[in-house]
Amino acid sequence: MTAITPPARKKIKAGSFSLNRFSTRTQALFHVILLLFSLLCIIPFIFVIIIAFSSEDSIRQIGYSFTPISWSTDAFAYTFKLGNALWRSYLNSFLITIVGTVLSVAMTVLYAYPLYRRDYKYRKFFNFLSFFTMIFGGGLVPTYVICKSVLGLSDNYAALIVPMLFSPFNVIIMRTFLQTTVPPELIEAATIDGSGEYSTLLRIVLPVVKPGIATIALLVSLAYWNEWFLSLLYLNKNMSIMPLQYLLMRMQRNADFLAKNSSMLGADASKAAAQLPSQSLKMALVVFIVIPIACAYPFFQRYVIAGLTIGSVKG
């Protein structure tokens, strides 16, 4: 390359421009393919929104359709009438997500930070302790039995939070964030200044790894928000603490589940079940559950991508 004079180089660049881009026609083809798949990814959600706003009459006549005969907000009005059961589970979802995320982030950071410290004596041991669980486990049933009968995780909020509190995968993501953003000299300088371990972590390290913490917090809160498996396992009697995901799952198999479990009693309940716009109501609940994700999604996408990219390569 040394022999090329500046003007000649410019010429190659100009010439290579066509070689470094696909022709307009090929690019158009790429656009068509990608656009089709992208639409496929969001159309089901749009369809569900349309169904939630379709009138029960329209659904009876032409089924679920992108172009219903008539529109209605009955389903949403009904969610307010149903009261308790629905809003309670919505609240449960928020509660579980918030508490779980706060605890989980704290545990992850506290576990990942000493692993990042090269001068920590027991680093190898604790690293292995968490890593080994990624490749071997007791399996579903022994874990379930231990959690339920030994640890008392059954029909309580703890059962829906504790089994997911900690993830070796997230520890790896956090440790990688620390390794790439916090230079060891920073820790050394703080130690020489007489800063204790906890105050170094809180005052020096945390402000630097804020993006890493945001990533972990988002991954964890998504996992909690989308959680229904723990409810399936550990909720048997105490249905008042179930999250919305599980409510939805139960409704799929019996449509008047919500009416039966609502605050209305006796004759009122059966009357309510009879008038229930059950089809659009189900879809309205799906909308309720996706809306928080869809709204926050454009903002958190960047962090989650960063975390998952790191996690997949290192984990």
Give least dist CB 240 to other proteins, A: 19
Going from the C-alpha of 279 to that of each of 29, 51, 65, 80, 286, the distances in angstroms are 39, 8, 12, 16, 11
Question: At its nearest, how many Å lie between other proteins and the CB of residue 262?
Answer: 20
Kindly tell me which residue out of 76, 94, 157, 166 binds other proteins, with binding defined by CB under 8 A.
Answer: 166
Nearest residue (CB) to other proteins, 267 versus 313: 313
User: Measured from the CB atom, is 15 or 83 closer to other proteins?
Assistant: 15
For residue 113, the surrounding DSSP H or E stretch is: helix 84-116
DSSP for residue 71: B
Asked if 19 touches other proteins (CB under 8 A), the answer is yes
Considering the rule CB under 8 A, would residue 175 count as an interface residue with other proteins? no
Of 207, 217, 107, 89, residue with least CA distance to 157: 89
79 lines the binding site for other proteins (CB under 8 A): no
Site for other proteins in 134-153 (CB under 8 A): 135-147, 149-151
Among 75, 96, 171, 216, binds other proteins (CB under 8 A): 171
- The answer to whether 305 contacts other proteins (rule: CB under 8 A) is yes
Interface pick for other proteins out of 51, 160, 209, 230 (rule CB under 8 A): 51
State the Cα–Cα distance between residues 79 and 12, nearest whole angstrom: 66
By beta-carbon proximity to other proteins, the closer residue of 4 and 263 is 4
SS3 content of the chain, % helix, strand, coil (to 5): 80, 0, 20
**Which of 227/264 has CB closer to other proteins?**
227
When asked if residue 165 is in the footprint of other proteins (CB under 8 A), the reply is yes
Question: Are the C-beta atoms of residues 153 and 159 closer than 8 Å to each other?
Answer: yes
290 binds other proteins (CB under 8 A): yes
d(CA 163, CA 152) in angstroms, rounded, equals 12
Q: How many residues bind to other proteins according to rule CB under 8 A?
A: 103
Q: Which of 53, 78, 90, 113 binds other proteins (CB under 8 A)?
A: 113
Of 99, 126, 256, 273, the one binding other proteins by CB under 8 A: 126
3-state secondary structure of 154: coil
Among 68, 100, 163, 212, binds other proteins (CB under 8 A): 163
Angle value at C-alpha 236, between 235 and 239, nearest 5 degrees: 70
Q: Are 310 and 173 in contact (CB under 8 A)?
A: yes
Site string for other proteins, 183-222 (x = CB under 8 A): --------x----xxx--x--------------------x
- Segment near other proteins (CB under 8 A); pick from 25-33, 71-79, 80-88, 264-272: 25-33
Question: Which of 76, 214, 229, 256 lies at the binding interface for other proteins (CB under 8 A)?
Answer: 229
CB contact set of 193 (below 8 Å; sequence gap of 6+): none
Tally the C-alpha atoms within 13 A of residue 23's C-alpha that lie toward its C-beta: 2
Smallest distance, other proteins to C-beta of residue 252, A: 6
The DSSP symbol for 3 reads T
SS3 assignment, position 210: helix
DSSP H stretches of helix in 117-183: 123-135, 140-145, 157-161, 168-181
Q: Does 242 bind other proteins (CB under 8 A)?
A: no
